[in-house]
Amino acid sequence: MKQASVHRTIDGIWRIESAKIIASLARMVRDVGLAEDLAQDAMLIALERWPQTGIPDNPGAWLMTAAKRRAIDHLRRDKLRDRKYEEMGWEIERQHEPDWDEALDDPVRDDLLRLIFTTCHPVLSAEARVALTLRLLGGLTTEEIASAFLVPEPTIAQRIVRAKRTLAAARVPFDVPPKAELATRLSSVLEVVYLLFNEGYAASSGGSWIRPMLCNEALRLGRILAEIVPDEPEVHGLVALMEIQSSRFKSRVGPSGEPILLMDQNRALWDYLLIRRGLAAIERAEHLGKALGPYMIQASIAACHARARTAAETDWVKISALYDALAQVAPSPVVELNRAVALSMAFGPEVGLEVVDALMQEPSLKNYHLLPSVRGDFLMKLGRKQEACTEFKRAAALARNDKERDLLLSRASDCAAE
């Protein structure tokens, strides 16, 4: 196998295995930064050896073994290593070829959970949590993260370094939080995954309408969470939401990358395997018998769209009721704006316009481009084309995504022409 091909294969293996390796190492050395360095050392060894020896039958176990041996070497060099080595190291080295598949099943599950709660700790800023999570759990390079969020690579590198230092300075334990803190901390984890997905699903800036890499990483993290925290309905709700929303990727953009809005999408292009997975996740959450949270309600809204064979068959009355429920459990001006859209589709644009007009003085929506965009849509449907044109232009001026700005200017032009 050619060296370049081997390196590509190793990159793929690293993306899959790195989180498990770092999580297991972090349990040993109690430091996520050091754990990442040791895991990277193991990958460098693989990059040197595998082009000559070939890729092992179980590359993940090979990397895990190499990384843990590096960790043991580190503990040996450390004056505090005696007790840790006796407790951890002897068991690792006592067999020449340990059965990693059997030995690591349960510990990896627990270690991944610890790592997720560590990278998403509330002591970190939202930006730092996202960067560190993508780095340690997603296996993305600093360059890839910077590219995904359209920020300079040094900025991302600094965020990651500061995040590791903050965790160390705050002495954040590498452990699952106590039961009393679990709900709050899990909410922080889900918020990070949700933020990742949303940025990929509708990019806030730049020249692309969607960034599938971010969505795929968020969905992968959500699926991991669903396996290791199976009794939390909101985890399944978030996974369901991401599965169903991901099913629309092929229909969300045109040949030139231009946005295609939901009601105009070719539903034959939707991925119905992902939809079935999403609906199954909703069922799993419902079977737990707990009250619906915001992610489950949003997943139920997405399911209404997914079940409609055509745009005309969408049950907007049910969606309006779900937005009413969402406004009760997670009230926000953005939720209210989305509720206005549902009300307009169910009961007429004048109903939606009344809700939107009440939001016009909301300070948090002052620079939110979707507020004038939605208002322009309602005005256009009511035949008030000149006012609609003004709103679309105002929305375009606020939009930071190039494709979305072009769409809004096109709608303003259409109103002016009519």
Kindly report, residue by residue over 43-67, the tens digit of the pLDDT: 999 989 998 888 898 999 999 999 9
Share of the chain above pLDDT 90, in %: 53
Under DSSP, the state recorded for 178 is P
Between CA 290 and CA 287 the distance in angstroms is 8
96: confidence class by pLDDT, cuts 50, 70, 90: very low
Lowest-pLDDT choice from 187-201, 321-335, 388-402: 187-201
Mean confidence (pLDDT) of the chain: 87
Q: What's the rounded Cα separation, in Å, for the pair 315 and 403? A: 29
Residue 305 has pLDDT above 70, yes or no: yes
Q: How far apart are CA 171 and CA 93, in angstroms?
A: 30
pLDDT band at residue 105 using 50, 70 and 90 as cut-offs? very low
Residue 93 scores a pLDDT above 60: no
Span 267-296, average pLDDT: 96
Contact 131, 155 (CB under 8 A): no
Provide the 3-class DSSP secondary structure of residue 58: coil
Return d(Cα 228, Cα 112) in angstroms, integer: 8
What pLDDT is stored for residue 103 in this prediction?
A: 35
- Tell me the three state secondary structure of residue 312: helix
Q: Model's pTM, two decimal places?
A: 0.76
pLDDT at 95: 39
Check whether 229 has a pLDDT greater than 90. Answer: no
The confidence score (pLDDT) of residue 342 equals 98
Contact by Cβ (8 Å): 172, 165 = no
pLDDT at 297 over 70: yes
Q: Over pLDDT 70: what percentage of the chain? A: 91
Residue 160 has what pLDDT? 95
Amino acid 179: pLDDT: 73
